[in-house]
């Protein structure tokens, strides 16, 4: 079995987020003062997590957020960020730059529900899902390839370090290979990946995990949380498991979704 951790963070708040204006891909708004504080707070929360790979959408609000997170890191401040257009927000076409209320009115006029509605020039939910699926598949191939190349050198030490750094702040529980249980078949993590993206995109990606890959969920997670959009800098963690046969889809365990512990009073400092 090959296992890796996937930490997904939504970008910090922008002025247009607060004003409920659709940004999509065409309105490249920077973070607000609150957004920069949120990114810094997320960075402080994650500052001892040892990431091996960092990916981000190539839009300004995600670039600024990932920079704000890595700036606070004690262990991977100099890690290279790979910017990927497949991680961009859903494209909303003619609705970009307009109020969310206008998008809802457009959907109503078309006789559709807002999340399912595609404005002229926008992406369908299926198109967003395919972008997410494509990114995830390429990521899995990369991790499996690197794990195969490094297998003869790793011998567990780096993976224990990755797992331990996550376990300090996340409720890994049974998803974690227990150091005290020598009979455990679960190997350590071969990689720990940080992804910074967008609300609607993340919702689509997580829906793919849940519906197509049958992702298991913690008992503390209720259905309303699954149907919602992540708050700004909400943190979600998944453990991805591959069996020996690489042609088979991975199994995914959700450790937490839309965690906001770092925002409880943390945005007023640093």
Q: Report the catalytic residues.
A: 11, 89
3-state secondary structure of 149: helix
Q: Is 243 annotated as a binding residue?
A: no
The CA distances from residue 131 to 8, 84, 178, 202, 223, in Å, are 16, 11, 35, 11, 24
- Pairwise CA distance, residues 218 & 51, whole Å: 23
- On whether 89 is known to bind a ligand per the annotation, the reply is yes
Whether 22 and 96 have beta carbons less than 8 Å apart is answered as: yes
Q: 12 among the known binding-site residues?
A: yes
189 annotated to bind ligand: no
Tell me whether residue 17 is annotated as binding: yes
Tell me the CA end-to-end span of the chain in Å, nearest whole number.
Answer: 41
* 174 known member of a binding site: no
User: Among candidates 236, 241, 250, 252, which has minimal Cα distance to 42?
Assistant: 236
The SS3 assignment for 262 reads helix
Is 98 among the annotated ligand-binding positions?
Answer: no
Is 61 known to sit in a ligand binding site? Answer: yes
97 is in an annotated binding site: no
What is the DSSP pairing of strand 235-242 with strand 251-259?
A: antiparallel
CA dihedral 205, 210, 214, 220 (to 10 degrees): 130
Alpha helices in the chain, H assignment, sequence order = 15-18, 33-45, 60-71, 100-109, 125-154, 157-167, 199-211, 223-227
Contact between 12 and 31 (Cβ < 8 Å): yes
Within 8 A by CB and 6+ apart from 247, the residues are none
11 labelled ligand-binding? yes
Please indicate if the annotation marks 92 as binding a ligand.
yes
Q: Which residues are annotated as a binding site for substrate?
A: 10-17, 61, 89-92
Q: Which residues are annotated as a binding site?
A: 10-17, 61, 89-92
């Amino acid at each position: 079995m090959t296992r890796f951790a996937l930490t997904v963070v939504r970008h910090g708040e922008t002025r247009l987020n607060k004003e409920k204006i659709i940004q999509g891909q065409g309105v490249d708004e920077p973070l607000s003062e609150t957004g920069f504080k949120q990114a810094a707070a997320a960075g402080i929360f994650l500052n001892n997590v040892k990431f091996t790979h960092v990916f981000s959408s190539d839009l300004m609000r995600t670039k600024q957020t990932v920079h704000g997170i890595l700036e606070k890191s004690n262990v991977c401040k100099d890690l290279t960020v790979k910017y990927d257009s497949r991680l961009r927000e859903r494209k909303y076409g003619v609705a970009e730059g307009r109020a969310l209320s206008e998008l809802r009115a457009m959907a109503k006029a078309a006789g559709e529900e807002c999340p399912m509605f595609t404005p002229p020039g926008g992406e369908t939910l299926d198109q967003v899902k395919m972008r997410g699926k494509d990114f995830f598949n390429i990521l899995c191939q990369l991790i499996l390839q690197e794990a195969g190349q490094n297998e003869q050198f790793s011998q567990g030490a780096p993976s224990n370090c990755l797992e331990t750094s996550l376990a300090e702040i996340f409720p890994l529980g049974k998803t974690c290979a227990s150091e005290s249980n020598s009979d455990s078949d679960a190997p350590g993590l071969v990689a720990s990946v940080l992804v910074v993206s967008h609300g609607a995109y993340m919702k689509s990606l997580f829906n793919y995990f849940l519906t197509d890959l049958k992702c298991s969920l913690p008992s503390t997670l209720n259905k309303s949380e699954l149907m919602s959009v992540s708050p700004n800098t909400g943190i979600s963690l998944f453990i991805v498991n591959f069996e020996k046969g690489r042609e088979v889809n991975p199994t995914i365990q959700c450790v937490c979704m839309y965690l906001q512990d770092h925002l409880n009073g943390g945005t007023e400092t640093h």
